[in-house]
Chain A
Amino acid sequence: MDIQSTVNNILLDLTGEDFSTRGDENLFDTGLLDSMDTVQLLLELQDQLGISVPVSEFDRSEWETANKIVAKAASLA
């Protein structure tokens, strides 16, 4: 599975919403993703894609939309 669909699946699990066509929606402003979810997101990325993202690397502005998460994951893969 590619990074895009993996990220969308993780977000679907975490928020209960499908972001495959809403890639630029801000996940934090809408309150769909909180700190707990982000930790889970990082752990899932680690498990499913084998990329490790340290917590302090997590700058909200760089991770605030589905597209940004995909780009970030791709850059770290």
Chain B
Amino acid sequence: MPNLQPYADPQYFLILLVALVPLMVGLYHGHRLRLWETVVSLAFIVLMFTGHKWGEGLALLAYVAWQFLLVLGYARYRRAHNGTATFVAAVCASIAPLAVVKVTPAVAGHPSLLGFLGISYLTFKSVQVLMELRDGALKQVSAVDFGRFLLFLPTLSSGPIDRYRRFVADIAGAPAQADYVAMLGRAVHYLFLGFLYKFILGYAFGTLMLPKVAQAALVHAGPLGLSWGLVGYMYVYSMYLFFDFAGYSLFAVAISLVMGVDTPMNFKRPFAAGNIKEFWNRWHMTLSFWFRDFVFMRTTFFIMKHKLIRNRVRVSQVAYLINFLVMGFWHGVTWYYIVYGLFHAVAIIINDYWLRFKKKHRQQLPHNRWTQALAIFITFNVVCFSFLIFSGFLDKLWFCPPHR
């Protein structure tokens, strides 16, 4: 059987779009062909895990069964009870497979058998539903809707991370014809922008330039591994990371739109951000908003409600540290992902000090397009440096340099 990795090459789009034609015709006429949607989705999911990837496919099956058990079980429990211990246990159990997958390589030195492409994104969805059930924002979860949400094909492997209530409202019916036509227009635009980002710019930075600067950085490494090659690596990697991932996200949003679902966007010109806080409102937005709503806000709410820390500034600093450390660990249990998280926590804490200072001295501080340009320049470089940490290249450079 052939194997089809999502958005890997132009062929994939062709096959997928042809398969989606009946669904598109239905949506255009105001009907959502659920059965066809299900058949196509399941077929493409199976094709992701054919050949040597069959193990991952089994892991996915077991994972989905486990999350169904937890979410539907908790929804049932929540109708009559609201114990904190049960809630915490359900969330921990939901995160457990992902935690095993993240920790196993660090401890055992090989990937976990429980892992499959997309496990972290499915976990975000599952945990989100558990938390909304706990809060009473969600009264009930239908097994069918939860399944469609969890396994929504366009965003299965790498997001963007949608919200259950938003998603379910979209799939409940079909958009109005004029709206659907507008959605298709956006889809075409995003597809072509995605091709430019991922297959042209991402390829140029990632495949053509990155190995060259990496080589230069390894060969000419000075004290601490510093070199102009390393500086080049930092910028080239940052560009590669953005264009590759933004391109991928554009594809996912475009295919969602074709399927009549308005999946939220992931990027909004991140390098135009004037500070780190703004950067996180523009970079991998569905992830950072997920963390904001389900980690940062819940942490601050908890700390303030129980008056664990009185000082408001301190509360936010503690919450930032927790928020970005969790994000770091989520990327993987390696020193560079964790340092990346810490780096951003510290950057945002410093940024907050600066914002408070600026607020106090609004009269004395100049504000014009030059200061704005300087702010964007500084933010861009801080971000690129954080991506150098994130890339893991320093690990290679410092701890396992090649024999020269």
Contacts and interface: CB of A to CB of B under 8 A. Distances in A.
Interface of A: 34-36, 38-40, 42-43, 54-58
B305 A36 contact: no
A42 B301 contact: yes
A38 B319 CA distance: 14
Contacts of B300: 35-36, 39
Given A36-B319, A57-B137, 17 more contacts: A36-B312, A39-B301, A40-B312, A42-B301, A43-B301, A43-B304, A43-B305, A54-B134, A54-B136, A54-B137, A55-B297, A55-B298, A56-B132, A56-B135, A56-B293, A58-B293, A58-B297
Nearest to A43: B304
Given A36-B300, A36-B312, A56 B305 contact: no
Interface string B126-140: 000001101111000
27 contacts: A34-B277, A35-B292, A35-B296, A35-B300, A36-B300, A36-B312, A36-B315, A36-B319, A38-B297, A39-B297, A39-B300, A39-B301, A39-B304, A40-B304, A43-B305, A54-B135, A54-B136, A54-B137, A55-B135, A55-B293, A56-B131, A56-B135, A56-B137, A56-B294, A57-B135, A57-B137, A58-B297
B316 interface: yes
A38 to B, nearest CB: 7
A55 B298 CA distance: 7
Interface in B94-144: 131-132, 134-137
Nearest to B299: A39
Nearest to B166: A59
Contacts of B298: 55
Contacts of A40: 304, 312
Contacts of A42: 301
A18 B304 CA distance: 24
A40 B313 CA distance: 12
A54 B298 CA distance: 9
A55 B305 CA distance: 12
Nearest to A46: B305
Contacts of B134: 54
A64 to B, nearest CB: 14
Q: Top 9 A-B pairs ranked by shortest CB distance?
A: A54-B135, A56-B135, A39-B300, A56-B137, A57-B137, A56-B132, A36-B316, A55-B297, A39-B301
